[in-house]
Amino acid sequence: MTSRLGVPALSLLGLLALWIVAATLTADPQVLPQPFSLVAPFLSELRSGELAYHLGQTLVRVLWAFGLAMTLGMILGLLMGRFERLNRWLDPWLVVFLNLPALVLIVLCYLWIGLNETAAIVAVTLNKVPNVTVTIREGARAFSPQLDAMARVYGMSAGARLRHVLLPQLAPFVAAAARGGVAVIWKIVLVVEFLGRSSGIGFQIHLYFQLFDVGMVLIYALSFIVVMLAVEWLFLQPWERRARRWRLA
Amino acid sequence: MIRVDIRAKFFGETPVLGPVAFDIAQGETVAILGPSGIGKTTLLRIVAGLDDDFEGHVERPARLAMVFQEPTLLPWRSALKNLTLVHPDLSRKGAREMLARVGLADKERAFPGQLSLGQQRRLALARAFAGHPDLLIMDEPFVSLDPATAETMLALTERLIAEERPATLFVTHARAEAERLATRVLDLAGAPATLHPMPDRTR
């Protein structure tokens, strides 16, 4: 028990202690407020509904971008890992998009599509698709030729092959892409909101940045971190445990 | 009727198989005997339709089954699912009966990793026979087993073949195995490999 819950809890308390020490040394709430001084403004944001509204907006964008990026990245990665000719053609594009700064893609999407929701989600998705593709492609290259031969001899349908032969082999790679994906996507969503949306955590951070209100910036950032931790513990980790069941049995 | 008529098979410039031609009638068991590396697995992959890159022609029925050198199971699915997913027409009841026939009646929920190697091989055998194949292909099915397990597998295979009577083609490098299971033994030898003696049929 100490190792499963105790250590993470202790380590987080250590971080909190570090914050308190730093705030005490700074002695300027304008620069770094004490953690407990954030409780009252946090509660007032919560009661007014502001916090929930902006959290929800950001979360919806994260979910859209995550779903689109994972779907597109998995299709591309599977195809590129399976068909070497296609890979030779698409690989240079992949390298270009991997090295395109997130900011450039965001600005171009806003310029070309307009300052709207579509542009925001497209920008985040395009930023993440190349990473997912690269990870899934490695998985598709590692497919077992023996299981492939088995599926062909027994004439398994394409659907059954995908679901029961290919995707289970891909599960660790999907988990890696999803894990890295969620973390990167919400950060990019914040930048997208910062630059061109009038709702969401990124917009609120932009607002309080202009007011030099460090406390409110921290409240919004930390609230979303808590939401993402909940996603990790309530969805990602249980799914991974289920997919890995056969290894532990 | 299964009709195999391979004129040549190359890996790059190297000829691996020379002319290899034989028929297998329904209910007949043909063993291909030959040392390691002679091209036995290559021949089986061509007969199974896994390798189309050869000169010649193979007539095979639609319902195929193959037992590989390794069990080649789906490690992330239960023993029962390993049968029903590969054979969508097979009912759960039919799959349970098949598991019972290979002595795995109490293992339906187990993942392949929880089974011993001998049990995994029996599951692979159950998967092969569960589809009532017209042609059964086996690639050194008893290799790397201890003598007792090999004997159990051999007896089980013998019984299942007798019950289901598919046309069977299997390769081995052990003459005793070949002569025990097969109604006809063909020797594969030479480079590129051909059958010795040539089957009576002339072309």
Output the pLDDT for position A159. Answer: 92
Mean pLDDT of A207-219: 91
Q: How far apart are the first and last CA of chain A?
A: 22
Residue A226 CB neighbours (<10 A) = 10
Output the pLDDT for position A183. Answer: 82
- CA B129 to chain A, closest CA, distance in angstroms equals 11
pLDDT single digits (tens) A163-179? 999 999 998 899 889 88
pLDDT surpassing 60 at residue B155: yes
- For residue A246, which residues of chain B lie inside 8 Å, CB to CB? 75-77, 111, 113
State how far Cα A190 lies from the chain centre.
11
Output the pLDDT for position A91. Answer: 93
B50–A156 CB contact, under 8 Å: no
* Vertex B139: Cα angle to B198 and B172 (nearest 5): 55
pLDDT single digits (tens) B48-85? 999 888 899 999 998 899 999 889 999 999 999 999 99
Domain CATH number, residue B18: 3.40.50.300
B201: pLDDT confidence band, cut at 50, 70 and 90? very low
What is the residue type of B179?
A: E
Q: Which strand (E) or helix (H) includes residue A92?
A: helix A84-98
- For residue B131, which residues of chain A lie inside 8 Å, CB to CB? 154
Q: How many domains does chain B have?
A: 1
DSSP chain B: -EEEEEEEEEETTEEEE--EEEEE-TT-EEEEE--TTSSHHHHHHHHHTS---SEEEEE--S-EEEE-SS----TTS-HHHHHHTT-TT--HHHHHHHHHHTT-GGGTT--GGGS-HHHHHHHHHHHHHHT--SEEEEESTTTT--HHHHHHHHHHHHHHHHHH--EEEEEES-HHHHHHH-SEEEEEETTTBEEESPPS---
* Contact criterion met (CB below 8 Å) for B169 and B137: yes
Measured in residues, chain B has a length of 203
Whether B124 is in a domain gets the answer no
Output the pLDDT for position A2. Answer: 53
Output the pLDDT for position A161. Answer: 92
Mean pLDDT of B23-28: 90
Output the pLDDT for position B203. Answer: 37
pLDDT single digits (tens) A15-39? 999 999 999 998 888 888 998 888 8
Whether B173 is in a domain gets the answer yes
Q: Across the interface, which of B70, B114, B137 has its CB nearest the CB of A249?
A: B114
B129 in contact with A at a CB cutoff of 8 Å?
no
Mean pLDDT of B154-168: 91
State how far Cα B62 lies from the chain centre.
15
Residue with the bigger pLDDT between B169 and B146: it is B169
Q: How far apart are CA B96 and CA A237, in angstroms?
A: 33
pLDDT single digits (tens) A122-175? 999 999 999 999 999 999 998 999 999 999 999 899 999 999 999 999 988 998
A164–B77 CB contact, under 8 Å: yes
Output the pLDDT for position B15. Answer: 87
pLDDT single digits (tens) A69-124? 999 999 999 999 989 999 999 999 999 999 999 899 999 999 999 889 999 999 99
* Contact criterion met (CB below 8 Å) for B106 and B115: no
B181: pLDDT confidence band, cut at 50, 70 and 90? confident
Q: β-pairing, B55-59 with B2-11? A: antiparallel
Q: Which strand (E) or helix (H) includes residue A6?
A: none
Query: Which residue, B202, B187, B146, B194, is CA-closest to B19?
Result: B194
Q: How far apart are CA A198 and CA A207, in angstroms?
A: 10
Q: β-pairing, B184-189 with B167-172? A: unpaired
User: What average pLDDT does the structure give for chain B?
Assistant: 88
B16: pLDDT confidence band, cut at 50, 70 and 90? confident
CB pairs < 8 Å spanning A and B: 59
* Contact criterion met (CB below 8 Å) for A76 and A131: no
pLDDT single digits (tens) B118-139? 899 999 999 999 989 999 999 9
- Count, in order, helices (H) and strands (E) of chain A: 13, 0
Whether B189 is in a domain gets the answer yes
Residue with the bigger pLDDT between B132 and B190: it is B132
Indicate whether this model's pTM tops 0.90: no
Mean pLDDT of A52-58: 92
Domains and their CATH numbers in chain A: 36-248 (1.10.3720.10)
Give me A53's structure tokens. Answer: 């509204």
- For residue B68, which residues of chain A lie inside 8 Å, CB to CB? 146, 149-150
- For residue B48, which residues of chain A lie inside 8 Å, CB to CB? 149, 153
Q: Among A88-97, A225-234, B194-203, which is the least confidently predicted range?
A: B194-203
Q: β-pairing, B14-17 with B2-11? A: antiparallel
A6: pLDDT confidence band, cut at 50, 70 and 90? confident
B197: pLDDT confidence band, cut at 50, 70 and 90? low
Output the pLDDT for position A189. Answer: 92
pLDDT surpassing 50 at residue A44: yes
Residue with the bigger pLDDT between B2 and B1: it is B2
Q: How far apart are CA A200 and CA A214, in angstroms?
A: 17
B198: pLDDT confidence band, cut at 50, 70 and 90? low
Whether B198 is in a domain gets the answer yes
Whether B127 is in a domain gets the answer no
Output the pLDDT for position B202. Answer: 39
Q: B14 exposed, middle or buried (CB, 10 Å; 0-12, 13-18, 19+)?
A: exposed
Backbone angles phi, psi at B190, to 5 degrees: 95, 170
Whether B24 is in a domain gets the answer yes
B113–A156 CB contact, under 8 Å: no
Whether B147 is in a domain gets the answer no
Residue with the bigger pLDDT between B203 and A111: it is A111
Question: How many CA atoms within 13 Å lie on the side-chain side of A16?
Answer: 10
Output the pLDDT for position A113. Answer: 93
Whether B77 is in a domain gets the answer no
Residue B147 CB neighbours (<10 A) = 8
- For residue A157, which residues of chain B lie inside 8 Å, CB to CB? 88
Range of the domain at B24: 1-63+135-140+167-202
